[in-house]
Amino acid sequence: TFVATPVGAIAGEVKEALAWTSGLVTDVGSVKGALTETLPGLLPKDVHFIGAHPMAGSHERGMGHARADLFADAVCIVTPTPGCDEASLARVEAFWGASASGRRRKYYRITASGRAALAQQRAQWAAVHETLSAVWQPRLRLVGASHG
């Protein structure tokens, strides 16, 4: 079962899909952090979630910008969780490895070391954000006060 919905609604849609599906649930959302924390508690033992993030689309949102060929030849990042079901992972990778045009698509699997590197980079960017916010905040207050 594929879930394609705004990221904030994915966990709820997966929970609803579980009422009528079994086996494998995957998504095409961009953000996985909350899903990997929320979904394991929702999934029965015989249902597996393997996340995927196709690099497709544009900055535009909504059904008015949907296209039938949106994922055609798209590069995809497959985001298995540690200890995921290998058969389910193989099915998702096989899906993203083939394209309607017959060309082999590229997909990438994030590894445990990749997750660790991302966590480290996230922490570094949080420190940069905190420092810049501390520098900019007094300036923003002055600008806001002069316009108030």
Q: Which pLDDT does position 56 carry in this prediction?
A: 80
User: CB-based contacts of 24: which residues, under 8 Å, 6+ apart?
Assistant: 1, 47, 48, 49, 50, 88, 91, 92
73 HSE (CA, 13 A, CB side): 3
CB-count exposure of residue 7 (10 Å: 0-12, 13-18, 19+): middle
Q: Which pLDDT does position 103 carry in this prediction?
A: 66
Residue owning tokens 């083939």: 98
Tell me the β-bridge partners of 107. 76
Give the span between the Cα atoms of 98 and 107, in whole angstroms.
10
Beta-strand pair 75-79/23-27: unpaired
Give the span between the Cα atoms of 111 and 118, in whole angstroms.
10
Give the span between the Cα atoms of 34 and 41, in whole angstroms.
12
Q: Which pLDDT does position 140 carry in this prediction?
A: 62
pTM of the model: 0.62
CB-count exposure of residue 15 (10 Å: 0-12, 13-18, 19+): middle
Q: Average pLDDT, stretch 13-30?
A: 78
Task: Tell me the pLDDT tens digit for each residue of 89-116.
Answer: 899 888 887 766 666 666 667 777 887 8
